[in-house]
Amino acid sequence: MGKTVGIDLGTTYSLIAYQDPATGRPKCVEGPYGTPLCPSIVSVDPDGAILVGEPARRRLLTQSSRTIYSVKRLMGRGIADVQDELKLFPFELAPESANVLRVRLGDRVFTPPEISAFILRELRQWAEQFFGDSVDRAVITVPAYFNDAQRQATKDAGRLAGLEVLRLVNEPTAAALAYGLHEKRSGKVAVYDLGGGTFDISILKLVSTGEGDIYQVLSTNGDTHLGGDDLDNLLLALAREEIARDHNVNLDAHPEAVQELRKSLIRAKHDLSSEDRAAVIFDLPGGKGSWVREFARAEFESWIAPIVERTIGPVKMALADAKLAPSEIDEVVLVGGSTRVPLVRRRVKEFFGRRPHIELNPDEVVALGAAVQADILESGVRDMLLLDVTPLSLGIETMGGVVAKIIPRNSTIPASAQEMFTTGVENQTGIDIHVLQGERELAADCRSLARFTLRVPPGPAGLARIEVKFLIDASGILQVAAKDLRAGTQQSIEVQPSYGLGDAEIEHMLEESIEHAEQDFTERQLIESRIEAEITLSATQKSLARDQAGELAAEERRAIDDAVAALREAMAGRDYKLIRTRLETLNAATERLAELQMNRALSVALEGKRLGQV
Amino acid sequence: MTSASTTTVTAICWSCRQPVSSEHFCAACGKIQPISGDTDYFAFFGLPQKLAIDPADLEKRFHALSWKLHPDNFVRASEAERELSLERSSQLNDAYRTLLDPTARVEYLLAREGMRREGQQKQQAPPELLEEVFELNESLDELRMARAAGGDPEERARLSKTLAAAARKFQDSLAGVDAELKKLFIAWDAAIDAGADADSRRALMERMNAALNRRSYIRNLVDGVHKELTENC
């Protein structure tokens, strides 16, 4: 039997972690790039090879139509749900996207679970490389506010990646688990999780009992379409507007340039977490000069304030459901890369009136918690217990399109409800059931989960008695069973999910994926690292040819030349790790050169402005 | 623990074929047991059918049972046991959710005893509140009309204020009903302890049922006003 791991399948980054038996603590596995963060980006090469992570991120700049990021936003969603997404993200949907979306990447078409499966498979390879052993079972995290369809899609992705998904765990709950391990706590905890694409707030109660610690979720709320992506899209829209206005350049026809711009803006966003100012220099397509822009943190904050404020509504609702006031919360924990934004931290601190915890790396904490839960399930040694809740009420459609709630939101899972159904007219042979999730009164405003028909033997109206049991399991996924009470027989029901893949379809995909045998991991890394080295070498040559290179001190110049020679030597060999180490050395050596160029570009741009104003 | 189990079913363990007397596990082999058709939420926690429940005590029992019944315990067990754990732990959570909330608790008891009758009373205003309900509905109509006509903001603000004040009055009556229910809880528990006959228990349940109907009527009214007020904002 192979290893069991915890996986954070994120919008922007994904991570894989394990419980380290040596220390008894969870640890993230580092990938071939020396970081545990695997960009959640997938690219399909013209020859059919699938690239995931860092190499795919590079393809975003060169082959954007064959590359996809933020696919998590499409998981478990229907065509009508993603109209807003399509305006902001370069997703190209294939026409046959009825109840499962199909994304076009080059000449191939994939469903979101298949694309997520590529990411999971990549992480799995990282771990297998690290352990020297197979990895076949996993706990995967999902946003707490994910609905049934989004959870099912995540589980399908695990299955397609050849993993047995032991449990789906809510991201904020996993984070709380990792924090609890880090420092024993008790009391009421609020976990504020603002990631790349999703926002969750969970209120937990930590209780020490004789058997161990219980992490009981009291309530959860959130927005599955609110995160760092939104900040990026906002900056991108502003930048494109300014570029159109100041340079009369429309980027619509240049998707690769848009990705280059987006990348620079994200870097500026990151810089503004620690600096007061950040600059972006962007080469306009077609050699039309460059767009140079300096951002002040205050300016950035005034733009993003409305987005940050959107998190407060769900926080208030979660507190109301837990029947707690902000002052009754003992600890506040920040999770997700976007909580590095100073404005987010200030707003959370102001709201709760206390300083939030940031001791653990907000990128890693969810994966670490998943590894803890994986270990609990795997080893059977339990000194902690998670009691999570279902984020949305479950209901069934009744007369007039009104929804009758049968399992209220924030019920501890597993949770169940039994409903009795009968016929309304004589000799009726079927009763149609429509299951929904959501808080609104009308079925049309809730999320359709599934439809199915109960079969009844012909007879007078009202005679049939069919008992249907709805059960939400510990992963937050719905199961339905029906029983004919008069006949005393169990009825097997074909539940047709409103959005999602059927069993047969998954089987088919699994067979297909085995046919597409994977390229050898090491071989792939070697090819990728050589390409990366080539790109950097050619960029370095270009920089050295520019005027500012003359301003380098002799030893600075020598360091660059040495690093170039060392890298070329490594490239002749087959050690991809050595190539990457030397590449980093070269990057470090050219830092000063990049700085000189940045300063030059900035002063030119500022002078230009001044001249224009005279 | 109070002597409880009214439902000490004598079933046979599915695994070791010994008689099962405890609520959740076979005493002989320790295997988790299926749920009988008629499990009582009170008995599930080892509690008598009494209505005054200390939430802290209930939580303790809930946590203790969660340790034993949660699916985490059965990841490596047989398929059948995993199913049983899912069934039992979901029932545990359903039972806890129901008993923790006093209103849901008494509703559950009455439904179980076949004494929960919503009937037409749900639609009818309690006689003592008739006048207030009439006034409230009038203000609601005025507000709706003012909004439909686009009405001037000042007038709408005034109506909102009147309505909010009326809603507060009903909130007070709600507290009144809850106090009445609390008294009935105590009377019920005393009746159980005294081994009261079926007729006097039935009489108490009738009164609780009437109080519940009044409560749900006022609750709907207050919710309706709140909804109207948020929409008016």
Q: Tell me which residue of A502, A505, A501, A491 sits closest to A433, measured CA to CA.
A: A491
What are A55-79's pLDDT values in tens digits?
999 888 888 889 999 999 999 988 8
Peptide bond into A21 cis (omega under 30): no
Counted residue by residue, chain A has a size of 614
Cβ-Cβ contacts under 8 Å, A166 against chain B = 75
Contact B70 A417 (CB under 8 A): no
Locus of tokens 């000194």: A383
What are B171-221's pLDDT values in tens digits?
888 899 999 999 999 999 999 999 889 999 999 999 999 899 888 888 888
B227 touches chain A (CB under 8 A): no
What are the two backbone dihedrals, phi and then psi, of residue A46, each rounded to the nearest 5 degrees? -55, -30
A residues 176..215 contacting B (CB < 8 A):
207, 209, 211-212, 214
Q: How far apart are CA A278 and CA A266, in angstroms?
A: 11
- Greatest Cα pair distance in chain A: 98
What are the two backbone dihedrals, phi and then psi, of residue A370, each rounded to the nearest 5 degrees? -65, -40
Per-chain mean pLDDT for chain B: 84
A417 touches chain B (CB under 8 A): yes
Closest residue in A to B71 (Cα) is A474
* DSSP class per residue in chain B: --S--S----EE-TTT--EE-SSSB-TTT--B-PPPTT--HHHHTT--S-S---HHHHHHHHHHHHHHHSGGGGTTS-HHHHHHHHHHHHHHHHHHHHHHSHHHHHHHHHHHTT----TGGGTSPPGGGHHHHHHHHHHHHHHHHHHHTT--HHHHHHHHHHHHHHHHHHHHHHHHHHHHHHHHHHHHHHHHHTT--HHHHHHHHHHHHHHHHHHHHHHHHHHHHHHHHHHH-
Contact B93 A382 (CB under 8 A): no
Q: What is the pLDDT of residue A184?
A: 62
Structure tokens at A508: 């088919």
Contact B96 A412 (CB under 8 A): yes
A331-335 and A187-194 as β-strands: parallel, antiparallel, unpaired? parallel
A94 touches chain B (CB under 8 A): no
Contact B66 A214 (CB under 8 A): yes
Q: Tell me which residue of A233, A287, A286 sits closest to A261, measured CA to CA.
A: A233
Q: Tell me which residue of B71, B2, B60, B58 sits closest to B32, measured CA to CA.
A: B71
Cβ-Cβ contacts under 8 Å, A382 against chain B = 67, 72-73
Cβ-Cβ contacts under 8 Å, A386 against chain B = 72
Closest residue in A to B75 (Cα) is A377
B93 touches chain A (CB under 8 A): yes
The CA distance from B75 to the nearest CA of chain A, in Å, is 6
Q: Helix (H, G, I), strand (E, B), or coil: what is residue A433?
A: strand
Locus of tokens 């058709």: B37
Q: Tell me the fold of A394-500.
A: Substrate Binding Domain Of DNAk; Chain A, domain 1 (2.60.34)
Q: Which CATH number fits domain A521-613: 1.20.1270.10, 3.40.50.300, 2.102.10.10, 1.10.287.70?
A: 1.20.1270.10
What are the two backbone dihedrals, phi and then psi, of residue A27, each rounded to the nearest 5 degrees? -145, 145
Q: How far apart are CA A595 and CA B2, in angstroms?
A: 76
Contact A377 B72 (CB under 8 A): yes
B195 contact partners, CB below 8 Å, separation of at least 6 = none
Beta bridge partners of A220: A202
Phi-psi region of B148 (alpha: psi -120 to 50; beta: other; left: phi over 0): alpha
Domain map (residue ranges) of chain B: 11-100, 126-232
B64 touches chain A (CB under 8 A): yes
Cβ-Cβ contacts under 8 Å, A173 against chain B = none
Contact B93 A214 (CB under 8 A): no
Q: Are B21 and B36 in contact (CB under 8 A)?
A: no
What are the two backbone dihedrals, phi and then psi, of residue A178, each rounded to the nearest 5 degrees? -65, -40
A474 touches chain B (CB under 8 A): yes
CA geometry: angle B211, B212, B215, nearest 5 deg:
85
A382 touches chain B (CB under 8 A): yes
What are the two backbone dihedrals, phi and then psi, of residue A410, each rounded to the nearest 5 degrees? 65, 20
Q: How far apart are CA A329 and CA A326, in angstroms?
A: 6
Q: How far apart are CA A221 and CA A390, in angstroms?
A: 10
Amino acid at B12: I
Q: How far apart are CA B221 and CA A101, in angstroms?
A: 43
- In this complex, the residue of B73, B76, B86 whose CB is nearest that of residue A414 is B86
- In this complex, the residue of B72, B73, B90 whose CB is nearest that of residue A415 is B90
DSSP letter at A613 equals H
CA geometry: angle B41, A216, A141, nearest 5 deg:
120
Residue B4 has pLDDT above 70, yes or no: no
B118 touches chain A (CB under 8 A): no
DSSP H/E element including A611: helix A591-613
* DSSP class per residue in A337-353: GGGGSHHHHHHHHHHHT
Active site residues per annotation of A: 8, 72, 171, 193
- In this complex, the residue of A207, A211, A413 whose CB is nearest that of residue B93 is A413
A415 touches chain B (CB under 8 A): yes
A553 contact partners, CB below 8 Å, separation of at least 6 = none
Cβ-Cβ contacts under 8 Å, A411 against chain B = 93-94, 97
DSSP H/E element including A117: helix A112-131
What are A427-486's pLDDT values in tens digits?
888 888 999 999 988 888 898 888 888 888 888 888 888 889 999 999 999 988 888 888
Q: Tell me which residue of A520, A432, A528 sits closest to A482, measured CA to CA.
A: A432
Per-residue CA distances from A334 to A26, A191, A204, A356, A532 (Å): 19, 6, 14, 6, 34
Residue B122 has pLDDT above 80, yes or no: no
- Greatest Cα pair distance in chain B: 77
Contact A209 B94 (CB under 8 A): no
Contact B90 A166 (CB under 8 A): no
At B115, the pLDDT band (50, 70, 90 cuts) reads: confident
Q: Helix (H, G, I), strand (E, B), or coil: what is residue A2?
A: coil
Per-chain mean pLDDT for chain A: 89
Cβ-Cβ contacts under 8 Å, A412 against chain B = 93, 96-97
Cβ-Cβ contacts under 8 Å, B226 against chain A = none
Contact A212 B86 (CB under 8 A): no
Q: How far apart are CA A222 and CA B102, in angstroms?
A: 28
Q: How far apart are CA B170 and CA B136, in angstroms?
A: 10
Cβ-Cβ contacts under 8 Å, B91 against chain A = 416
User: What CATH class does B11-100 carry?
Assistant: mainly alpha
Cβ-Cβ contacts under 8 Å, B64 against chain A = 209, 211
B76 touches chain A (CB under 8 A): yes
Q: How far apart are CA A497 and CA A434, in angstroms?
A: 10
Q: Which residues does chain A have with pLDDT short of 70?
A: 97, 181-185, 492, 494, 513-520, 605-614
Q: How far apart are CA B225 and CA B171, in angstroms?
A: 11
Contact B93 A412 (CB under 8 A): yes
Domain map (residue ranges) of chain A: 3-226+331-387, 228-307, 394-500, 521-613
- In this complex, the residue of B70, B76, B94 whose CB is nearest that of residue A415 is B94
Amino acid at A162: G
Q: Which of A4, A372, A377 to mutate to test the interface with B (most CBs of B within 10 A)?
A: A377
Q: Are A498 and A149 in contact (CB under 8 A)?
A: yes
Cβ-Cβ contacts under 8 Å, A439 against chain B = none
Helices B55-69 and B79-100: angle between axes, nearest 10 degrees: 170
Per-residue CA distances from A590 to A210, A280, A477, A538 (Å): 58, 18, 51, 13
Q: How far apart are CA A449 and CA A436, in angstroms?
A: 5
Q: Tell me which residue of A495, A490, A500, A391 sits closest to A435, measured CA to CA.
A: A495
DSSP letter at A520 equals P
User: What CATH class does A3-226+331-387 carry?
Assistant: alpha beta
Q: How far apart are CA B132 and CA B174, in angstroms?
A: 14
A276 contact partners, CB below 8 Å, separation of at least 6 = A296, A297
Q: Are B35 and B88 in contact (CB under 8 A)?
A: yes
Q: How far apart are CA B29 and CA B33, in angstroms?
A: 11
Q: How far is CA A306 from the centre of its chain?
A: 22
Q: What is the pTM of this model?
A: 0.87
Cβ-Cβ contacts under 8 Å, A475 against chain B = none
Beta bridge partners of A294: A279
A343 touches chain B (CB under 8 A): no
Q: Which CATH number fits domain A228-307: 3.40.50.720, 3.30.930.10, 3.90.640.10, 3.30.413.10?
A: 3.90.640.10
Q: How far is CA A39 from the centre of its chain?
A: 10
The CA distance from B197 to the nearest CA of chain A, in Å, is 32
B223 touches chain A (CB under 8 A): no
- In this complex, the residue of A211, A411, A474 whose CB is nearest that of residue B97 is A411
Contact B86 A474 (CB under 8 A): yes
Counted residue by residue, chain B has a size of 233
Contact B70 A474 (CB under 8 A): yes
Q: What sign does the CA torsion over B144, B148, B153, B155 have?
A: negative
